[in-house]
C-alpha cells in the first residue's frame, strides 16, 4: 500500500514536464459540498502530505489548504491557495477556490488562470445557488469542466437527481461515466462504465484501488447507462456520431477520445461519483482530470495590444515551453506573507529565469526576480526557471492583482482585465485604539490591493472611514483579519446600502458661467440634455460630446466631463452617487480670452445643479437574489418573511422534505435576516444571496431616505420636534 503512494511521487518535484503533462485545474463548488476535503485527499494520494485532516476537524489541525487561521475556525476556504503535485508523471497545479458568494472575486481570479475545472456537487444538495454562480463564471471564461458528485455516503444521497439538475439547471449536456455500488451507508465503490469494471477502494484510507467484475445485478443498468453516455456524446462529437449512425461498436479508446474532444469544446460534461470523506472515488477522478481536461497547449489564451482594451487587437499567446517567445505572465493573487509580499503568477508564454528583470505593463516599473518559488498551500520550494503553463510565485514585487508582466519593455500587451462586480454594502470602520492607526492603514492598503471588490473611502461629512464590499460576511472577515494579522481590533458600524440616484425623464440644461472681477474673467456656456439610460445600463455614467462647430473648443471638453463626473459623486435627494444617466453636451459658447478649462468645469457643475432642481429624480437600490433552503414545514413561514421584506418570490422547489425558495429582495430589507431565519426554522434554515441588479425603490422608501438625509444635513427639523410644538 505504501508502494502505491510512493510510486505516484516518484517524479522529482523540481523537474520540468512536457506541455501535455501539465494540468492547471481548479476545484470549485457550493459551500460545504466538500471540495477542500477532496483537495486534501488528492494531495494525500499523490504523496504530497503525510496525514489526513478533516476540515471541521476535532484534531485542531484543519485542512492543509486552509492555511489561514480564520479559515480553519470557520471551516470555509477564503483564499485560493495554489498547490503543486504529481500524479502518474503529470504535473498538476490545483487551485482551491472559495465557495462563498461573498468571495466571488477569488473564484473569478482562479478561473482566469485555470485551463480546466472540477465542479464538485453534493449528492444530497445538488445544484445550489453558488453552483449556478460558479457555472456562470466558468462560461464567461470558457473553462472546460468535469463534474464530481461528492458525499454519496450522506443520508438521502441521490446522484441521479443531481445529474438531472446538472442538465436542467446548469444546462450542461452531461452523462455519468460511473455508477455507484451502493449508496449512503452501503457505499462500496463505483463502476467505470467505459471500461466496464467495478472499482473498490481498500487498505488504510482507500489507497489501494482494486478492479473487479461488475456485480451481476448491476450489469444491465451499466449497459443502459453506457448507451446513454454514447448517445449524449455522439450528439456533439462528429466522429463518434458517425460510428453511432453506422452502428459500429466503438472501442473503449474511441469513447474516451470522443469524451475528451467534446469536453474540451465545452459541449459535454463527464460526471464522476465518489465520497472524499470516506476515501472513495478520488483516484479515478484524478485519472479523469488527466484524461479529459486540457493541457495549457489546448487552451487559447489571448493578450491585448497597446493597453487600449476597446480597440486593442487580440494576440494569441504561444504556449510552447521554450524561450522562442518573450515571457508574458499574469499576477492573479497577492498575499502578504511572513517574508513580504508574495505574488502568484501564471506564465502564459516564454520562459522566466532567476535573476531576470520583469516589467509591469501598467506601472512601467522594472523588478529583478530574486527568487522563484512553487507553492504547496503555505510551504514553498525554490525553482530556477518557470516555463509557459506553470503557476508560480515571486517575492517583493509591488503590483496589483490582474497586472500583466513582461520581460521585454517594448511589449505593450495586457491580459484582459478581469470582470469586477460593483460593491453593494458599505460600513464605517475605525480602529478601537488610536495607536493602531498605522497598522490599520497598512491593512486597508493591502486588502484593497488584493481584492478589487473591497473598496475604501473617507467620508468627509461624518469624518469616518468607509469600507465597501460584496456582503456583510465579506466585510466582517476583513475586520477579523485586521485584528488577527495586523493586531489591530476594529469597530464596524451599521451596514449601509449603496443606493444610487437616477433621472426619470430627460431634462435639458442651458447654463452660463460668467465672472468678471478685474483681471482675466471666466466665461463658459454649456447647453444640452441629461437623460436616463436604459434599465440594463443603470449602473453606468456616460458623457457624450455631441457638439459640432467651434462653439465649444475641443480642449475644454475634458473640463465639462470632469465637472459632470465630480457632481455625480453626490446626488441631491440623498447624497448618493448618480448612476444610469448620460450627459450629452450639444452646444455652448466661449470667449476668446476669458474661457478656460476651469470655467467650463464650473459651468458643467452649474448645469448639473440646474438639472437637480428641474429634473425628476428617483433612488435606485441593489436587489439581491436570495436562495433559502428550509425543511418543508417552514416553507410558509419563510415565504411570509420574504414578502414582509418586500421580496418577490421567483421560484419554489421541493425535494425530499426540503424546500428551496428563490426570491428577489432589496438588500436594504435583508439586514438581520440571518437571525430571523434561524430562530423561525429551529436553526435548520440557511440562505445565500448575491447581487442581481439595481432597480427603483418603493415611493415610501424613497421618501424615508430623503427625509433622513435632509435631517442629517440640517435642512429639516426632525419630525418628533414638530409634533411637540
Domains of the chain, residue spans = 2-211+268-296, 302-415, 425-494, 501-615, 621-701
- Whole-number pLDDT of residue 6: 42
Residue 509's SS3 state is: strand
Q: Say how many residues make up the chain.
A: 725
If phi over 0 gives left and psi between -120 and 50 gives alpha, with beta otherwise, what is residue 49?
beta
- Whole-number pLDDT of residue 342: 77
- Whole-number pLDDT of residue 61: 46
Contact 612, 561 (CB under 8 A): no
pLDDT digits (tens, 9 = 90+) for 390-403: 888 888 777 776 77
DSSP per-residue string spanning 38-72? HHHHHHHHTTS-SS---TT-SSS---SS--SHHHH
**To which residue does cell 437571525 refer?**
675
Residue 545's SS3 state is: strand
**To which residue does cell 454562480 refer?**
133
All cell numbers assigned to 175: 452523462
Average pLDDT over residues 29-33: 67
CA distance 85 to 75: 23
For residue 578, give the DSSP letter.
B
Q: Identify the band that residue 77 occupies on the pLDDT scale cut at 50, 70 and 90.
A: very low
Query: Alpha-carbon Rg of the chain, whole angstroms?
Result: 29
Q: Kindly tell me if the per-residue pLDDT of 96 is higher than 80.
A: no
All cell numbers assigned to 544: 457624450
- Whole-number pLDDT of residue 673: 80
**To which residue does cell 494531495 refer?**
43
Most confident of 253-267, 298-312, 376-390, 465-479: 253-267
For residue 109, give the DSSP letter.
H
Q: Kindly tell me if the per-residue pLDDT of 565 is higher than 60.
A: yes
CATH 3.30.230.10 fits 501-615, yes or no: yes
Q: Identify the band that residue 104 occupies on the pLDDT scale cut at 50, 70 and 90.
A: low
For residue 195, give the DSSP letter.
T
What is the DSSP pairing of strand 22-29 with strand 116-122? parallel
Q: What angle do CA 311, 317, 321 make, to 5 degrees?
A: 165
pTM for this model (two decimals)? 0.63
Count the neighbouring beta carbons within 10 Å of the beta carbon of residue 431.
21
CA distance 541 to 376: 44
Going from the C-alpha of 701 to that of each of 138, 492, 579, 618, the distances in angstroms are 37, 25, 18, 11
**To which residue does cell 424615508 refer?**
704
pLDDT digits (tens, 9 = 90+) for 452-465: 778 888 877 677 88
Q: Identify the band that residue 107 occupies on the pLDDT scale cut at 50, 70 and 90.
A: low
What's the mean pLDDT when you consider all of the chain?
78
pLDDT digits (tens, 9 = 90+) for 251-289: 888 888 888 888 888 888 888 888 877 878 888 888 888
Asked whether the domain spanning 425-494 has the same topology as the one spanning 2-211+268-296, the reply is no
Q: Which CATH architecture has domain 621-701?
A: 2-Layer Sandwich (3.30)
- Whole-number pLDDT of residue 594: 80
- Whole-number pLDDT of residue 30: 67
- Whole-number pLDDT of residue 75: 46
Q: Which residue has the higher pLDDT, 150 or 715?
A: 150
Going from the C-alpha of 119 to that of each of 30, 32, 201, 584, the distances in angstroms are 9, 13, 22, 46
Average pLDDT over residues 466-474: 78
Contact 267, 297 (CB under 8 A): no
CA distance 406 to 443: 29
To the nearest whole percent, how much of the chain has pLDDT over 70?
Answer: 83
- Whole-number pLDDT of residue 254: 85
pLDDT digits (tens, 9 = 90+) for 310-340: 455 677 777 777 777 888 888 877 776 656 6
- Whole-number pLDDT of residue 660: 83
Contact 401, 345 (CB under 8 A): no
What is the DSSP pairing of strand 22-29 with strand 90-96? parallel
What is the DSSP pairing of strand 581-589 with strand 541-545? parallel
- Whole-number pLDDT of residue 35: 67
Q: Which of 655, 656, 652, 650 is nearest to 636 (CA)?
A: 652
- Whole-number pLDDT of residue 442: 82
CA distance 38 to 40: 5
Q: Which CATH architecture has domain 2-211+268-296?
A: 3-Layer(aba) Sandwich (3.40)
Query: CATH topology for 425-494?
Result: Alpha-Beta Plaits (3.30.70)
Q: Which of 155-169, 298-312, 578-592 has the lowest mean pLDDT?
A: 298-312
CATH 2.40.30.10 fits 302-415, yes or no: yes
As to burial, measured by CB atoms within 10 angstroms (0-12 exposed, 13-18 middle, 19+ buried), residue 416 is middle
pLDDT digits (tens, 9 = 90+) for 161-217: 888 888 887 888 888 888 888 777 777 888 888 888 888 887 777 777 888 888 888
- Whole-number pLDDT of residue 420: 65
All cell numbers assigned to 124: 444530497
List the beta bridge partners of residue 302: 316
Residue 566's SS3 state is: helix
pLDDT digits (tens, 9 = 90+) for 629-669: 788 888 888 889 889 888 899 888 876 677 888 899 888 88
Say how many Å lie between the first and final Cα of the chain, rounded.
87
Contacts with 527 (C-beta within 8 Å, 6 or more apart), sequence order: 508, 509, 510, 511, 585, 586, 587, 588
Q: Which of 365-379, 478-492, 515-529 has the lowest mean pLDDT?
A: 365-379
CA distance 697 to 279: 51
- Whole-number pLDDT of residue 4: 45
- Whole-number pLDDT of residue 69: 54
- Whole-number pLDDT of residue 5: 45
Going from the C-alpha of 577 to that of each of 283, 464, 470, the distances in angstroms are 53, 18, 18
Residue 442's SS3 state is: helix
pLDDT digits (tens, 9 = 90+) for 497-547: 888 888 888 988 898 888 877 777 888 888 999 888 888 887 788 888 888
- Whole-number pLDDT of residue 168: 81
Sequence-ordered alpha helix ranges (H) in 204-297: 219-236, 238-245, 252-264, 282-292
Amino acid at each position: 500500500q505504501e508502494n502505491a503512494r510512493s510510486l505516484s511521487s516518484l517524479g522529482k518535484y523540481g523537474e520540468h514536464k512536457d506541455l501535455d503533462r501539465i494540468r492547471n485545474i481548479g476545484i470549485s463548488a457550493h459551500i460545504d459540498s466538500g471540495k477542500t476535503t477532496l483537495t486534501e485527499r488528492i494531495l494525500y494520494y499523490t504523496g504530497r502530505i503525510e496525514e489526513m485532516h478533516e476540515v471541521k476537524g476535532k484534531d485542531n489541525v484543519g485542512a492543509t489548504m486552509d492555511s489561514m487561521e480564520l479559515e480553519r475556525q470557520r471551516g470555509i476556504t477564503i483564499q485560493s491557495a495554489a498547490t503543486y503535485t504529481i500524479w502518474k508523471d503529470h504535473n498538476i497545479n490545483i487551485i482551491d477556490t472559495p465557495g462563498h458568494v461573498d468571495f466571488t472575486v477569488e473564484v473569478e481570479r482562479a478561473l482566469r488562470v485555470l485551463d480546466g475545472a472540477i465542479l464538485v456537487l453534493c449528492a444530497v444538495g445538488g445544484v445550489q445557488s453558488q453552483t449556478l454562480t460558479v457555472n456562470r463564471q466558468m462560461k464567461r471564461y470558457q473553462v472546460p469542466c468535469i463534474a464530481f458528485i461528492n458525499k454519496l455516503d450522506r443520508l438521502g444521497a441521490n446522484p441521479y437527481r443531481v445529474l438531472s439538475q446538472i442538465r436542467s439547471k446548469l444546462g450542461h449536456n452531461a452523462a455519468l461515466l460511473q455508477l455507484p455500488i451502493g449508496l449512503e451507508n452501503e457505499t462500496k465503490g463505483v463502476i467505470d462504465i467505459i471500461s466496464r469494471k467495478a472499482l473498490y477502494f481498500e487498505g488504510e484510507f482507500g489507497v489501494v484501488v482494486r478492479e473487479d467484475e461488475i456485480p451481476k445485478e448491476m450489469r444491465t443498468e451499466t449497459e443502459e447507462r453506457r448507451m446513454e453516455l454514447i448517445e449524449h456524446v455522439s450528439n456533439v462529437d462528429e466522429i463518434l456520431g458517425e460510428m453511432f449512425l453506422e452502428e459500429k461498436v466503438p472501442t473503449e479508446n474511441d469513447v474516451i477520445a470522443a469524451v475528451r474532444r467534446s469536453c474540451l469544446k465545452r459541449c459535454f460534461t463527464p460526471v464522476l461519483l465518489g465520497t472524499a470523506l470516506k476515501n472513495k472515488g478520488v483516484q479515478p477522478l484524478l485519472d479523469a482530470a488527466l484524461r479529459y481536461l486540457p493541457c495549457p497547449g489546448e487552451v487559447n489564451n489571448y493578450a491585448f495590444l497597446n493597453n487600449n482594451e476597446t480597440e486593442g487587437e487580440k494576440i494569441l499567446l504561444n504556449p510552447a515551453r521554450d524561450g522562442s517567445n518573450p515571457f508574458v505572465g499574469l499576477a492573479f493573487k497577492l498575499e502578504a506573507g511572513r517574508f513580504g509580499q508574495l505574488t502568484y503568477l501564471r506564465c502564459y508564454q516564454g520562459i522566466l529565469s532567476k535573476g531576470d528583470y520583469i516589467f509591469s505593463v501598467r506601472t512601467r516599473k522594472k523588478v529583478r526576480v530574486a527568487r522563484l518559488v512553487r507553492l504547496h498551500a503555505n510551504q514553498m520550494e525554490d525553482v530556477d526557471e518557470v516555463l509557459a503553463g506553470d503557476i508560480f510565485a515571486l517575492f517583493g514585487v509591488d503590483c496589483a492583482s490582474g497586472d500583466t508582466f513582461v520581460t521585454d519593455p517594448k511589449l505593450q500587451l495586457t491580459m484582459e482585465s478581469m470582470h469586477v462586480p460593483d460593491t453593494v454594502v458599505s460600513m464605517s470602520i475605525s480602529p478601537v485604539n488610536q495607536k493602531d492607526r498605522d497598522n490599520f492603514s497598512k491593512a486597508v492598503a493591502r486588502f484593497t490591493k488584493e481584492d478589487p471588490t473591497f473598496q475604501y473611502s473617507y467620508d468627509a461629512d461624518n469624518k469616518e472611514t468607509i469600507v465597501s464590499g460584496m456582503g456583510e460576511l465579506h466585510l466582517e472577515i476583513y475586520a477579523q483579519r485586521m485584528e488577527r494579522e495586523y493586531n489591530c481590533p476594529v469597530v464596524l458600524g451599521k451596514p449601509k446600502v449603496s443606493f444610487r440616484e437616477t433621472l426619470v425623464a430627460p431634462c435639458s440644461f442651458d447654463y452660463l458661467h460668467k465672472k468678471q472681477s478685474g483681471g482675466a474673467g471666466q466665461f463658459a456656456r454649456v447647453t444640452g440634455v441629461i437623460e436616463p439610460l436604459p434599465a440594463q445600463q443603470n449602473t453606468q455614467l456616460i458623457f457624450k460630446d455631441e457638439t459640432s462647430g467651434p462653439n465649444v473648443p475641443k480642449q475644454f471638453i475634458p473640463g465639462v466631463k470632469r465637472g459632470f463626473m465630480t457632481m455625480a459623486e453626490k446626488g441631491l435627494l440623498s447624497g448618493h452617487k448618480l448612476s444610469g444617466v448620460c450627459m450629452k453636451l450639444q452646444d455652448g459658447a466661449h470667449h476668446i480670452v476669458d474661457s478656460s478649462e476651469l470655467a467650463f468645469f464650473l459651468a458643467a457643475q452649474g448645469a448639473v445643479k440646474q438639472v437637480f432642481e428641474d429634473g425628476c429624480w428617483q433612488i435606485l437600490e441593489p436587489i439581491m437574489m436570495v436562495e433559502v433552503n428550509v425543511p418543508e414545514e417552514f416553507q410558509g413561514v419563510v415565504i411570509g418573511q420574504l414578502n414582509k421584506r418586500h421580496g418577490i418570490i421567483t421560484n419554489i422547489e421541493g425535494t425530499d422534505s426540503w424546500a428551496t425558495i428563490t426570491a428577489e429582495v432589496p438588500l436594504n430589507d435583508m439586514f438581520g435576516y440571518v437571525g430571523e431565519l434561524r430562530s423561525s426554522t429551529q436553526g435548520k434554515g440557511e440562505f445565500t444571496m448575491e447581487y442581481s441588479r439595481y432597480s427603483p425603490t418603493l415611493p415610501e422608501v424613497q421618501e424615508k431616505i430623503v427625509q433622513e438625509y435632509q435631517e442629517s444635513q440640517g435642512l429639516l427639523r426632525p419630525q418628533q420636534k414638530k409634533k411637540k410644538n
